[in-house]
Amino acid sequence: MSITWLTPAVLAGLALIALPIAIHLLVRQQTRSLPYPSLRFLRETALAAFRRRAIQDAVLLVCRVAVIAAAVTALAGPVLHTASRTAGYANRLSQATIAVDSSAALPSAEDVFRSATFNRTAIADAIGDALRWLDAQPPSSRAVVFSGAFRRGSISESDLAVVPEDVGIRFAPDTPAAAANQFTASSLTRRNGLLVRVDHVVGVDTDSTRVGDGVVVAVPQDRIRVVAAPADQGLAEAALRAAIDEGVPWTTSDRRVLIVWEGADTAAIPSQGAELVAMPVPNPPASAARATWNAIDRATPRTFVDPVLIPREQLQSWARPPGRPSPTAIPADEGDRRWLWAAALALLGLEHFLRRERAVAHSTGAASAEARVA
């Protein structure tokens, strides 16, 4: 069994123990040594009374010291690590839930020991926050739960690589699994002067969009354009192409989006009714597809069809159970200090009782002495 302290600096307060000791030393009845020819006529009753008082003083001192010690150690927050308690650490779970999509319905966290939710625009930032929060939790099993629809591109294996081995990973998709590979896309079109809604059942592979009924649902390039300087025009076009190739979901309406570099003077750009969306210059260029995707994702209104999702099998392959609690985890208050507070209160009561007994004995002795004199 070991013991750790939540606020070990408070233990410096144990120096206060010196206070009652010093007071006892200062106010104790001073006795001197007196060589005497013979002790045969000195009465034992006087001796017994003296010793009784000395013992009483010692008990009183011990009580006062113990009260201070118990109070200080209670304030320091002791945490006892017993074998059973250490085993119990593995049975409780600290869970950090990350909302991958803003529309994600967060999973219930009723059975977990500690839980928190993190929602950041960038998934990497959310994971970083979650890991920092988990590191600050008391000893327990730890897991990161990703919640959302898990559209393709919303999370990748490289994002999960930063999660330590002893932190479990779980995915809580908020859409049926079947929709990941097959969904219905609706579109409005004019036929013979009428506005007609056409539903397409679309099947999706992991790496390409497959037309279910012969109608290709893809982003028409003329609906999204990137405004860039001539020097960056090639990069912008490549980024847009890569994003579309990855299957960015798109509405079948006539909506147009104009992507501009962040920091560009948007007032000077003739949008011609298109929505302007800012996008950071991709750096490195390999991240251009993701940046473009995110930029399109931020465009409004979101009248998208069901997105292309990451397959459930892929999510399951990334998932793993929580590991053993970290031995370096910061201990939590397990309530051990309440016993010390109880002990301090009990000792305080005992000290009060002893002090009163002593005062009563003293007054009785004085009264008898006065009676003798009288």
Partner 1 sequence: MSRPHVVTSSELQSLRDLELMTRATVEGLRHGLHRSPFHGYSAEFSQYRHYRPGDDLKYVDWKAFARTDRVYTRQFRETTNLSALLVIDVSRSMDFPQQSAMSNEQSGRSKFTLATTIAAILGTLVLDQGDAAGVLATADRAHFVPPRSGHHHLRVLLSELSRLAPSGTSAIDSALRHAATLMKRRGLVIAVSDFYEDEAAITQIRRLRRMGHDVVAIQVLSKEELSLEVGGAAEFIDLETGRKLLVQPSSARESYARDFGAWLANVEREIRRDGIDYLRVITGEPLEPALRRFLIGRRSAAS
Give the residues lining the site for partner 1 (CB under 8 A).
Answer: 29-43, 45-47, 49-51, 54, 365, 369, 372
The torsion angles phi and psi of 371, rounded to 5 degrees, stand at: -65, -40
Least separation in angstroms between CB 59 and partner 1: 17
Q: Is the CB of 37 or the CB of 284 nearer to partner 1?
A: 37
Q: Is the CB of 52 or the CB of 338 nearer to partner 1?
A: 52
Least separation in angstroms between CB 351 and partner 1: 24
User: Shortest CA distance to 307 belongs to which of 16, 49, 102, 160?
Assistant: 102
Least separation in angstroms between CB 365 and partner 1: 8
Least separation in angstroms between CB 332 and partner 1: 52
Q: Is the CB of 45 or the CB of 158 nearer to partner 1?
A: 45
Q: Is the CB of 49 or the CB of 136 nearer to partner 1?
A: 49
Least separation in angstroms between CB 20 and partner 1: 22
Q: How far is residue 337's CA from residue 339's CA, in Å, rounded to a whole number?
A: 5
Cα end-to-end span (Å), the chain: 64
Q: Per DSSP, what are the bridge partners of residue 2?
A: 81
Least separation in angstroms between CB 3 and partner 1: 41
Specify the 3-state DSSP secondary structure of 276.
strand
- Cβ neighbours for 107, distance < 8 A, ≥ 6 positions apart: 97, 145, 147, 172
Least separation in angstroms between CB 39 and partner 1: 5
Q: Is the CB of 52 or the CB of 210 nearer to partner 1?
A: 52
Q: Is the previous residue joined to 173 through a cis bond, with omega within 30 degrees of 0? A: no
Contact yes or no for 310/150 (Cβ under 8 A): yes
Q: Is the CB of 190 or the CB of 372 nearer to partner 1?
A: 372
Q: How many CA atoms lie within 13 A of 71 on its CB side?
A: 15
Q: Is the CB of 7 or the CB of 41 nearer to partner 1?
A: 41
For residue 215, what are its two tokens? 């109608």
Angle between helices 288-297 and 230-245 (to 10 degrees): 80
Least separation in angstroms between CB 370 and partner 1: 12
Q: What angle do CA 306, 117, 85 make, to 5 degrees?
A: 135
Q: Is the CB of 49 or the CB of 201 nearer to partner 1?
A: 49
User: Shortest CA distance to 170 belongs to which of 147, 137, 140?
Assistant: 147
Least separation in angstroms between CB 19 and partner 1: 25
Instruction: Write the burial class of residue 111 (CB in 10 Å: 0-12 exposed, 13-18 middle, 19+ buried).
Output: exposed
Q: Is the CB of 33 or the CB of 192 nearer to partner 1?
A: 33
> 217: which DSSP letter?
-
Contact yes or no for 296/224 (Cβ under 8 A): yes
Least separation in angstroms between CB 51 and partner 1: 7
Q: Is the CB of 16 or the CB of 42 nearer to partner 1?
A: 42
Q: How far is residue 297's CA from residue 301's CA, in Å, rounded to a whole number?
A: 10
Q: How far is residue 324's CA from residue 167's CA, in Å, rounded to a whole number?
A: 9
User: Shortest CA distance to 123 belongs to which of 293, 8, 363?
Assistant: 293
The torsion angles phi and psi of 201, rounded to 5 degrees, stand at: -90, 120
